[in-house]
């Protein structure tokens, strides 16, 4: 059976999916037609129901949970992995309502955390995540909401951290930070969903077995990123929760849904999250 699969070209995603899309493991009778897109494009695809299995932001999952069910493997979730709000110089967050802020997408979990922490921050502009630092440096925005490898590069570019929203979430909610997950169509039966879950775990195990070697699939899609940064990226965003969310991971996602519900960002009650 062939399934369409969407994930980003970021090292954490290519590291996870490399073995299963490139014939390096037994995929249990499944084949995958994959598309590589940035996470905000994948979020839009999810709203359109375009793919069978896809990576998406947990913020986008709030809006598509009736169409898709969450898998237990493949998630980007943990501690110390959250988005950061940065600026050219220290700014008073009491005035955040006046800031012009570059965000990596309205459907990103980063934007959800910013909204939960600072509901008064309304002046936001969507910018491709890799261009946010330069946009702030050029003075086009007062502040930028950075994700992915930007957390490793902003300081050396002379930018200042205003707040680590992941740290805010962990302190406020006493929970790990759910950033992105892997979902599958709810119309598929549980046996197929469980098989895809198992294949993702096997694919990830294959990549870890060969680490710290990075496959050509990972390095080719990381473009000009240094290998040191690729490994930092993988080691931060690919962890035990990625193999299996476990009780702590599942509770963190339920906490996120509950917080969104209380902030009137989720229609109806708390839905069934998993398959």
SS3 66: coil
pLDDT tens, per residue, the chain with 275 residues: 999 999 999 999 999 999 999 999 999 999 999 999 988 899 999 999 999 999 999 999 999 999 999 999 999 998 888 899 999 999 999 999 999 999 998 988 899 999 999 999 999 999 988 899 999 999 999 999 998 778 888 998 999 999 999 999 999 999 999 989 999 999 999 999 999 999 999 999 999 999 999 999 999 998 778 898 899 889 988 999 999 999 999 999 999 999 999 999 887 777 899 99
Nearest-angstrom CA–CA distance, 117 and 156:
26
Last residue in a domain, options 173, 193, 211: 173
The answer on 68 and 201 residing in a single domain is yes
* Reported pTM: 0.88
pLDDT reported for residue 266: 85
What does each C-alpha distance from 125 to 76, 91, 102, 122, 273 come to in angstroms? 24, 19, 5, 9, 30
**Could you tell me the two tokens for 184?**
């599958």
The range of the structural domain enclosing residue 16 comes to: 2-78+177-262
Give the pLDDT confidence score for residue 233 in this predicted structure.
Answer: 86
The confidence score (pLDDT) of residue 17 equals: 98
Cα 81 to Cα 215: distance, rounded to the nearest angstrom: 24
- Angle at CA 53, nearest 5°, toward 49 and 57? 75
> Would residue 262 be called left, alpha or beta, if left means φ above 0 and alpha means ψ between -120 and 50 degrees?
alpha
Contact 73, 197 (CB under 8 A): yes
Q: How do 2-7 and 31-36 pair as beta strands?
A: parallel
At residue 58, the pLDDT reads 93
What distance in Å separates the CA atoms of residue 162 and residue 93, rounded to the nearest whole number?
8
Residues 182 and 160 in one domain: no
Q: What pLDDT, on a 0 to 100 scale, did the predictor assign at position 160?
A: 96
Residue stretches of the annotated binding site: 55-57, 109-110
Q: Are 59 and 257 in contact (CB under 8 A)?
A: no
148 a catalytic residue: yes
Q: Which residues are annotated as a binding site for substrate?
A: 55-57, 109-110
Catalytic residue from among 148, 210, 221, 233: 148
Q: What is the CATH number of the domain that holds 169?
A: 3.40.190.10
Task: Determine whether 44 is exposed, middle or buried from the number of CB atoms within 10 Å of its CB (0-12, 13-18, 19+).
Answer: middle
Q: Is residue 267 part of a domain?
A: no
Q: Which of 173, 197, 215 is the last residue before a domain boundary?
A: 173
**What single DSSP character describes residue 211?**
T
pLDDT for the residue numbered 201 = 98
């Amino acid at each position: 059976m062939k399934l369409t699969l969407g994930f980003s070209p970021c090292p954490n995603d290519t590291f996870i999916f490399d073995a299963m899309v490139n014939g390096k493991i037994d995929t249990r009778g499944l084949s995958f037609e994959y598309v590589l897109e940035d996470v905000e494009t994948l979020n839009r695809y999810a709203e359109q129901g375009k793919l069978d299995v896809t990576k998406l932001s947990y913020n986008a999952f709030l809006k598509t949970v009736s169409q898709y069910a969450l898998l237990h493997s493949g998630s980007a979730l943990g501690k110390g992995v959250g988005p950061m709000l940065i600026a050219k110089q220290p700014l008073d967050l009491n005035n955040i309502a006046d800031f012009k802020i570059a965000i990596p997408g309205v459907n990103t979990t980063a934007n959800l955390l910013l909204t939960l922490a600072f509901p008064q921050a309304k002046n936001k502009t969507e910018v491709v995540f890799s261009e946010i630092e330069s946009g702030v440096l050029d003075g086009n925005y007062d502040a930028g909401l950075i994700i992915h490898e930007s957390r490793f590069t902003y300081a050396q570019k002379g930018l200042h951290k205003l707040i680590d929203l992941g740290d805010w979430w962990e302190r406020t909610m006493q929970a790990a930070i759910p950033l992105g997950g892997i979902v599958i169509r709810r119309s598929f039966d549980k046996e197929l969903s469980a098989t895809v879950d198992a294949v993702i775990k096997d694919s990830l195990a294959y990549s870890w077995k060969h680490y710290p070697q990075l496959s050509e699939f990972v390095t080719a899609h990381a473009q000009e990123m240094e290998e040191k940064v690729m490994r930092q990226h993988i080691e931060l965003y690919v962890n035990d929760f990625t193999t299996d969310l476990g009780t702590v991971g599942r509770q963190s996602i339920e906490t996120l849904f509950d917080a969104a519900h209380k902030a009137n960002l989720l229609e109806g009650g708390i839905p069934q999250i998993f398959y």
